[in-house]
Amino acid sequence: MRLSPCLHIFLGGAALTAAAPKCGGCGMRADSDFQPRLGRIRAQGGKASKRYLARLYASMEKARPGVFARRGSRRFVGAQIGRGAGLGAAFIANGRAFARHHMRRAAVKIRSVRLGANGLGKARAHLRYIQRDGAEKDGAPGKLYGPDRDAADGKAFLEEGRGDRHQFRIILSPEDGGELDDLNGYTRAVMAAAERDLGTRLDWVAVNHHDTDHPHVHIVLRGRDDQGRDLVIARDYITHGFRKRAEEIATLELGPRRDLAIARSRHAEIDKERFTSLDRKLCAAAIDGVVAPSHGRTAYERFQTKLLLARLRTLEKMRLAAREKDGWRLAPGLEETLREAGRRGDIIRSMGAAMGLQFEPAKLRELGAAGSPPRLVGRVVGEGAADDAHDKRFLALDGADGNQWHVTFDGAPGTAPPEGAIVEASLASAAPRKSDRTIAEIAARHDGMYSDALHARCDPSASPEYRLAHKRRLEALRRAGIGGRLADGTWRIPGDFLERTAQFEAAKASARMRTLSWVRLDALTTAPTRTFLDDAIEKGEDTHGALGFGSAVQKALATRRNWLLAQGLAQEKENGFSIDQDKLAARGAAAMNAHAETLGHRLGKTFVPTEDGETIKGRFTERLDLSAGRFAVLEKSKEFTLVPWRPVMEARRGRLIEGVMERGRVNWNFGRTRSGLGR
């Protein structure tokens, strides 16, 4: 192979080459005065060179602990197995180039989700979630689009993906997304670049969301390549490749970031109560927890030093850093503390948006946090997105204990209780994972320490991949403030490790939600049906506080009690307050018939009540929130009926469903109905 005697210079990941006329070998100008002087060819593997490489790798290891130390290891980690492996490694290598500072920034979150036995149902639920109401700028539901058209067929996409082993769920969030004129076109450009990198056509659909401060895109990518095989993407490319391409394309669309904008962005990080890029630099530069920013030789380095010193003074005020003779000592767990502070800041902003002027930050509490009760009752004030990557929402509750609660729950679109509804939220039970118990058992034998070597010694049959999963688990727990990693890679396991991991799992788990009333509290005081107030009155319980919503509940209990007595629906007896259930049920049935008659006039159809053992069939068209509960309207061509609503029905809105009424409940046969609507 002939080598052209030309010099390639790389700056910021881009090759600097001159314009034509060019050298035939590589593109260098033919009239260049540069003449390379080649040295004497000699052996490359001498002892001196090996010693130099050892010193070089040692220096690199200090800069990035754990990355270069593995160069001689044969352990399989899978980071570069799959499509895009080489590019992912290249992005890591070029991640510190000067030009990187001028790139537009983007955040990309990617999850590989195994679909399993109920894969189609999971995929359908996620597609409904990202198309939920309020996603568009005007508050309309999100619009699904794909590589070639602005109106993608979600049903066809799901059918094509039937049987896929997995799918990728991507959240693409360009920092300056609000400046992009065509978010659809930007998304297509990013995915087209990924296709070129991965060497295969990608089958995907996406929805734009404008319901947060930064417009972002939800992308669902099938786990198949264009040959019908499982799509395996290298972890390095997932971690770096997608983000790099998103930033490059945003830079092409909007131009590079100007120095002034970069300076303002960095300066804004000084007072942030969250983990910032400045903190990342401080942690990377710290030796034994102490950092001493240098003065710098260039204007840029001096500017960076001023930023870092200003950030250190902020951390000092937060009691996360302290001045010492030779520098600044960073507090243990600095990153975890700041990340938790940032998460709480996000919750405060979300609660403020959901509750408006009613929000009082001093009263904010989070269900699942340390000290929170296992159960609480509250009035729904608002809702919002808690974790789009995992399809989680949150409810903002005005608690009966006088506090304002942030409660995370798993909820498909359309299933959340409306504003004004009253709910009971409780913590889901959680236990340590099997890996946690394995770690605790090994640590118990070795004075509270765990390492890969100790694991291999205790369980020789454990594969490297299995042990690696345990270290990843420990890293996730470390970020949550559970355990610590020493410089030699050993982990210190606290004595209450299993208790704390159980609390960690409980905090991540969604709350169990039970709706006590689908209508507002004031509508329950004279409701002609049994309510949660009646249960509290009969039991003689009043566990509600005297502040906020708790005060309103106390007044409602007194009003409800007097109304039941005045209507002859209850009596004061020696053994307590007694409600005549038969009379109340008769009132409730009459009220239901009145609601049905009103609805029949609006629909122009006849109401047909249901009976036990009867087969029910109809098109689910809408739902009604009444004091007796939430009901689904099932329509035929000339008649309709009302049945108790269930969350699973919401996915079949507008479709024909069929079931059998048994003891006041309907056993639905979803997906089995094939015949027409009848009358």
Q: Work out the angle at residue 462's Cα, subtended by the Cα atoms of residues 493 and 453, and round it to the nearest 5 degrees.
A: 50
Residues 6+ apart with CB under 8 A from 318: 273
Burial class (CB in 10 A: 0-12, 13-18, 19+), 422: buried
- Structure-block tokens of residue 677: 């609507």
* pLDDT over 70 (residue 430): yes
Q: What is the mean pLDDT of residues 68-80?
A: 42
Q: What is the mean pLDDT of residues 669-675?
A: 56
Three-class HEC string of 205-232: EEEEECCCCCCEEEEEEECECCCCCECC
Amino acid at 398: D
Tell me: the pLDDT tens digits for 632-658? Answer: 999 999 999 999 998 888 878 888 999
Give the three-state DSSP class for 409. Answer: strand
* pLDDT over 50 (residue 6): no
Residues 6+ apart with CB under 8 A from 362: none
What is residue 669's predicted lDDT score, i.e. its pLDDT?
80
Give the three-state DSSP class for 379. Answer: strand
Measured from the Cβ of residue 658, the count of other Cβ atoms closer than 10 Å reads: 18
Beta bridge partners of 633: 622, 642
Tell me: the pLDDT tens digits for 465-474? Answer: 899 899 989 9
Measured from the Cβ of residue 56, the count of other Cβ atoms closer than 10 Å reads: 11
Q: What is the mean pLDDT of residues 36-58?
A: 50
Q: What is the mean pLDDT of residues 327-356?
A: 89
Tell me: the pLDDT tens digits for 155-175? Answer: 899 999 888 899 999 999 999
Tell me: the pLDDT tens digits for 592-626? Answer: 999 999 999 999 999 999 888 888 999 999 999 99
CA-based nearest residue to 198, from 112, 89, 80, 82: 82
- Structure-block tokens of residue 140: 């309309």
Q: How many CA atoms lie within 13 A of 234 on its CB side?
A: 23
Q: What is the mean pLDDT of residues 255-271?
A: 89
Q: What is the mean pLDDT of residues 12-27?
A: 41
What is residue 251's predicted lDDT score, i.e. its pLDDT?
92
Beta bridge partners of 397: 380, 405
CA-based nearest residue to 430, from 488, 365, 507: 507
pTM: 0.66
Tell me: the pLDDT tens digits for 364-421? Answer: 998 877 778 888 999 999 888 777 777 788 899 999 988 999 998 887 767 889 999 9
* Most confident segment among 30-44, 53-67, 424-438, 532-546: 424-438
What is residue 484's predicted lDDT score, i.e. its pLDDT?
87
Cα 407 from Cα 383, distance rounded (Å) = 9
pLDDT band at 545 (very low <50, low <70, confident <90, very high): low
Cα 115 from Cα 362, distance rounded (Å) = 42
Using CA atoms, how far residue 570 sits from 6, 374, 530, 580, 589, in Å, is: 98, 33, 12, 6, 18
Residues 6+ apart with CB under 8 A from 405: 364, 365, 366, 367, 376, 378, 395, 396, 397, 399, 425
Percentage of the chain exceeding pLDDT 90: 44
